[in-house]
Chains A and B, each alone.
Chain A
C-alpha cells in the first residue's frame, strides 16, 4: 500500500471542527447572541440547580411533618415563604415541588420523544400501506379527549405512583411528534442518499436510525424543548384539578391547588403565588431557550 499516507487524525479533526461547526455550537452561538435566551438559560440553570440541590439542605421528613401550632404563618425569617395548612414550610415544598414537576416534565418529554420518533420514522420510511395503517391509528388516538382519558386512567389504576403518572401522560404526548417526524421522513426518503443506502445493502432499521435520524435530529431537539414547557404545564394543571401526583408528593401543582379556596387566594397569597410565578418563569425561560434552538436549526432565521 504505497499510496496511503499516514495522517495526523487529531489535527485533521480539529481543523474539521473549526470550519464545520456542530449543531451544539450553532445553538450556543445563537443563545449568546440573544439577550432573552441567555438570561433565560442562566435563570433556568439557577432555578434547577437550587431545586435539585435542595434536598441537601432541606430536611424532607420535617417538611412532611404536620405541625398544628404553626399553620398559615406569613413569611418570616424562619419560614421564608411562610407555612401552609399543616404548618409545613412552603419554600421547602416549592423547591422539592419544582424538582418533581421538572423531572416529570423531562421524563414525559423523553419517553414521548423516543416513541414518537420511532413511530414517525417507521411510518415515513416505509410509506404506502404501512404509513396508511399507522397514520389511521394515530388519528384515532388524536381524537380521543386527552384530559378526560388521563383523569379516567388516574382514577382506575390500582397502585398509582409517580412512574405510572409519567407513563399515563406519555401515552398522549408522543402523537404530535410522531406526525411531525413522519412528514419529514416522507420527504427525506425520496432523497438519493436513502436510495444509495438501500442499494448498498444497509438494513432498513439502520437506514432509519443512522442515516435518516441524524438529518432530522435538529427538528427533534427543537420540538422536545418547546414541548417540555407544555408537559410541565400539563402536570401542574392535572395536579391542580386533583388528578395529578398522589397525595404526599409535593409538586408545583399541589401548591397552586391551594388557590381553589377564595380565602387562601385573597389572604394567604404566600402559599400559592410563588409556585404560580415559578411555573410562569420556568415556562417562559424554556420557551426563550427553545426559540433560540429553533433559530439555530434554520439558517434563515439565525441572528448570530
Chain B
C-alpha cells in the first residue's frame, strides 16, 4: 500500500476586490494534482518559481487548508480529519524548511529546539531528554557541546542539520523537504543531500522532495512530478524524465540545465532551438485553448504526460 496518496488536490486562494472586499476570483496555486508516495522512496516535485510546490507541501502537512481533493495517509484522508485525529499524525509527517535562518528560533538553544517535539509527545525526564537530544545531535554530525549554543553560532549547513535533527526526533514516516538546500552554498549542498540519503536508509524515511533544481532532483529522487502553474505536466521515474521527456515544458526544463562540456555546447544550443520551435508549432498539443494543461495520460506503466 502506498504511504501517501494525493488525489486531485486543490488549493485556491481567494482574490478579494471591489466594494465590500468580495471574492472576485481565485489564485489557483495548486489546481488538481495527484500522485502517490511508496514507503521508502523519494518523490521529487519540480517546477519553476510560483508553480505551487510549496503550497502543495504545506497543504499535506497542514500548514494551509486544501480547498479540494483528498490526501490519504495510510488510507485515511488528512483533509477530512478532525483536529484531534490530525494531531496524532503530526508525529508521522514532518517538514524540513527551506530557510535555515528563519526556521530556528534564535532565542532558544539547540537543546531546547530539538527537544520541542519530544516535550509535546513524550513524557521524558530531563536526563532522558538530554540523552535523546545528544543522540540526535551526534546522528546529524554536530559536536556534543553544540547543544548549548544558539542558532546564530552555526553555519547554514549546520543549522539545516539542526532542523533535520528536530524533524527526526519523533521518528516520522514521511518528511517533506521544501528546497532544503537552496539557501545553502553549493559546496555544502552535496554534503547535506548525501546526509539526507544516509538517514533515509537508517530511519526508513519517505521523502517528498521539493526543488527547482533538476540536477539535485536527479541525484535524489526515484520518481519525479513536473509541475507547471499548479498542475502536473509529466510524471515518471527519474530515468524516464531525464532520458525520454515527452512534454515540451519538461524538455525545455531539461534543456536549460547548463552544459559543462564545451564540446557539447553547440549540440545543446541546437537542441534548445528545436525545442523552441516545437513549443511554437505544437502549442495546441500541450495546452488547451485557455492555456491550461490537459489531464495526465499514461504512456507507460510509470510514465504519464499531460498531452492531448
Q: Which positions in A face B, CB cutoff 8 Å?
A: 1, 3-5, 7, 9, 12-13, 16, 19-20, 191-193, 195-203, 211, 214-215
User: For chains A and B in complex, what number of residue pairs have CB atoms within 8 angstroms?
Assistant: 86
Contacts of B106 in A (CB 8 A): 193, 215
B97 at the interface (CB under 8 A from A): yes
Tell me whether A3 and B63 are in contact in the complex, defined as CB-CB below 8 angstroms, given that A192-B98, A201-B90, A201-B117 are known contacts.
no
Whether B63 pairs with A198 at a CB distance below 8 angstroms is yes
- Distance (whole angstroms) from the CB of A252 to the closest CB of chain B: 39
CB of B301 within 8 Å of the partner chain: no
User: Contacts of A202 on B, CB cut-off 8 Å?
Assistant: 116-117, 120
Please give me the residue from chain A that is nearest to B116 by CB atom: A200
Q: Chain A residues with Cβ under 8 A from B166's Cβ?
A: 196, 200
Chain A contacts for B149, CB-based, 8 A: 16
Interface residue stretch chosen among B130-138, B238-246, B264-272: B130-138
Count chain B CB atoms within 10 A of each CB in A3, A196, A197 and give the residue with the most. Answer: A196
Residues of chain B lying within 8 A (CB to CB) of residue A19: 153
Task: Tell me whether A4 and B134 are in contact in the complex, defined as CB-CB below 8 angstroms, given that A197-B116, A199-B61 are known contacts.
Answer: yes
Q: Which of B93-119 contact A (CB under 8 A)?
A: 93-95, 97-99, 102-109, 116-117
B215 at interface by CB-CB < 8 Å? no
Contact of B145 among A12, A193, A196, A199 (CB under 8 A): A12
| Chain B 70-109 residues near chain A, CB threshold 8 A | 87, 90-91, 93-95, 97-99, 102-109
Q: How far is the CA of A16 from the CA of B149 in the complex (A)?
A: 7
CB contact between B131 and one of A1, A7, A13 (< 8 Å): that residue = A1
Which residues of A are found within 8 Å of B63, using beta-carbon distances? 195, 198-199
Contact A199 B95 (CB under 8 A): yes
8 new A-B pairs (CB below 8 Å) besides A4-B135, A193-B102?
Answer: A4-B131, A12-B145, A193-B103, A193-B104, A196-B97, A199-B94, A200-B170, A201-B121
A198 contact set on B, CB distance < 8 A: 62-63
Chain A residue nearest to B88 (CB atoms) is: A201
Residues from chain A with a CB closer than 8 A to the CB of B294 are: none
Chain B, residue nearest A195 (CB): B63
- What are the 7 tightest A-B residue pairs by CB atom distance, in nearest-first order? A192-B103, A201-B90, A214-B107, A3-B138, A200-B117, A4-B134, A201-B120
B105–A215 contact, CB under 8 A? yes
List residues of chain A with CB within 8 A of the CB of B95.
195-196, 199
Residues from chain A with a CB closer than 8 A to the CB of B131 are 1, 4
B139: nearest chain-A partner, CB-CB: A3
| Distance of A211 Cα from B104 Cα, bound (Å) | 10
Contact indicator A4/B144 (Cβ below 8 Å): yes
Q: Which residues of B contact A197 (CB under 8 A)?
A: 105, 116
CB distance from B266 to the nearest CB of A (A): 44
* Chain B 127-158 interface 0/1 with A at a Cβ cutoff of 8 Å (1 = within): 00001001100100000110011101100000
B163 close to A (CB within 8 Å) = yes
In the assembled complex, the Cα of A19 lies from the Cα of B148 at a distance in Å of: 13
CB distance from B153 to the nearest CB of A (A): 7
- Kindly provide the distance from the CB of A202 to the nearest chain B CB, expressed in whole angstroms: 6
CA distance A211 to B98 in the complex (A): 19
Asked if B148 contacts A5 (CB within 8 A), the reply is no
B146-183 residues at the A interface, CB under 8 angstroms = 148-150, 152-153, 163, 166, 170
B133 → chain A closest CB, angstroms = 10
**Can you give 5 contacting A-B residue pairs, CB < 8 Å?**
A9-B148, A201-B91, A202-B117, A202-B120, A203-B120
Determine if B150 and A20 form an interchain contact, defined as CB atoms under 8 angstroms apart. yes
User: In the complex, A199→B99 CA distance in Å?
Assistant: 15
